[in-house]
Each structure stands twice: as structure tokens, then as C-alpha cells.
Amino acid sequence: MRRCSICGRRAAVYYQRFSGDYLCSTCLGRRIVRYIRKAFSVNDFSLSPGQHVVLLITPGQSPIARTVYELFRAAERPFTSNIEARLIDAEEPVDIIAAEERAVRRAGEDVVMISSSLEENLLELLTALMKGYDPSLSLPLRRAGRITLFRPFSLVPLMDLYAYAAARGEVEATRPKYLYEELLEVTVTGPELAYSYKRVLRLLGNVRARGESVYQGRAG
Ligand SMILES: [Zn+2]
């Protein structure tokens, strides 16, 4: 039995490639909760106590929806929010941006959380570029009229979520395929993914701060 690199006591159930850590299910769960809290703090975003929020669960996470909901619940506990989880429905292959936009409009709430993970956020950027959508639709925090949209799982790798769900015994059904998903396959392992995603976000942020259109950033 290989022991967990963090607690050194329990049996490891998962090898997190980019950190090189072997993790038990407890330490993996805690690490994911920390990533979620970090997304709140780096985006300087918090919920009001008792706030009613809708958590939209992405198609790629629908087979592990219960785990995703419980991780979010654990991470936002200090806010004591009233959370309502809903699945985002879509036809395969899922156009992640179009599916989310539809679900957000249907949610009819002022504060909407989208559960998209690190890989799914990068896929959103790729989808925006491929389909000519506004790339800022994939930002971790954005306001659309009176609606505030936040992505609390934007620093959490999807493979960590699946590993944690499997360790807890949540049945693993096949997840739906995303449009352009094959473009991600070369980048889904290692720290490069998080690094390039953050770089693109910073770039988008700079362009927006200068008041330029994201499409004409250079030419305009
Ligand atoms: Zn451990």
C-alpha cells in the first residue's frame, strides 16, 4: 500500500501528476476545497451570508454531480448560502459556451455559479476562438446586466474531480463529449494547462482594461 504524501497515514487513491503527490481521498477532497476557496479569493469575490445561489453543473460533470455539489457546499460553508444545483442539458457534442449561456438565461437568478473546471474553461476559450464568440464569456467572474456569474471550480482539474468522485464510490457513467474536445487532449496533463489558461486570462484582462475590443486588440 502506498501512503498519502500529505497525511502519511491513509492509503493513497490518486496520483496527482502535476504536483507529484499521492493523495488519499480525504486529502484530495481538502485540496479541491482549497482550490475552490482560492478561486473566490483571487477573483476577490464573496457571497453574502444566506444568499440564494444557483450552481449550474456542466455536462462534463453531470455523472459526478453529487460530488461537485458537496465540494462546493464544503468550500462555501462560511457563507451559509442556500444552494440550488441544476444540471446544464445539452446535445452532444456539447458546445460548452452555447449550453452555458442558455442555462444562465433560464436560471432567472442574480447570482449564478457555473461549475466549469480548469480543462472546461480552457475549452471554452478554444470554442470561443473557433466559433467567433466573445472570449470574455469564459472569464471566471463576469457581470451580464444584473446577473453575476462566477466559476468557483476554475482552478480545479476535471480529472481531480473524477478521481475524488470515484474514491467516494459515485457511479461513473460516461460523460458527454464536448465540441473541440480533441484540441484539449494535448494539453490536459501537467502544469502547462493552468499556466497557459492564466496567461490567456491575463491577456484578456489587459485588453479589456485598455478598452479595446478583444477581437481587434492588435489591429484596432
Ligand atoms: Zn491524506
The reported pLDDT for the residue numbered 80 is 80
Compute the distance from residue 135 Cα to the ligand 1 centre, in Å: 38
Compute the distance from residue 30 Cα to the ligand 1 centre, in Å: 9
Compute the distance from residue 15 Cα to the ligand 1 centre, in Å: 12
Compute the distance from residue 8 Cα to the ligand 1 centre, in Å: 6
Spell out the domains of the chain, with CATH numbers in brackets.
Answer: 37-209 (3.40.50)
The reported pLDDT for the residue numbered 217 is 35
d(CA 165, CA 67): 6
Compute the distance from residue 21 Cα to the ligand 1 centre, in Å: 10
Compute the distance from residue 32 Cα to the ligand 1 centre, in Å: 13
Q: How would you write the pLDDT of the chain (220 residues) with one tens digit per residue? A: 899 999 999 999 999 988 899 999 999 999 999 999 999 999 999 998 888 999 999 999 999 999 999 999 999 987 788 999 999 999 999 999 999 999 999 998 999 999 999 989 989 988 998 899 998 898 999 998 899 999 999 999 999 999 999 999 997 688 999 998 887 765 555 556 666 666 766 766 665 555 554 443 333 2
Backbone angles phi, psi at 188, to 5 degrees: -75, -5
Compute the distance from residue 101 Cα to the ligand 1 centre, in Å: 38
Compute the distance from residue 173 Cα to the ligand 1 centre, in Å: 26
Compute the distance from residue 92 Cα to the ligand 1 centre, in Å: 37
Q: What is the pTM of this model?
A: 0.86
Distances (CA, A) of 189 to 34, 157, 184: 20, 9, 10
The reported pLDDT for the residue numbered 186 is 58
Compute the distance from residue 66 Cα to the ligand 1 centre, in Å: 22
Compute the distance from residue 29 Cα to the ligand 1 centre, in Å: 9
Compute the distance from residue 63 Cα to the ligand 1 centre, in Å: 25
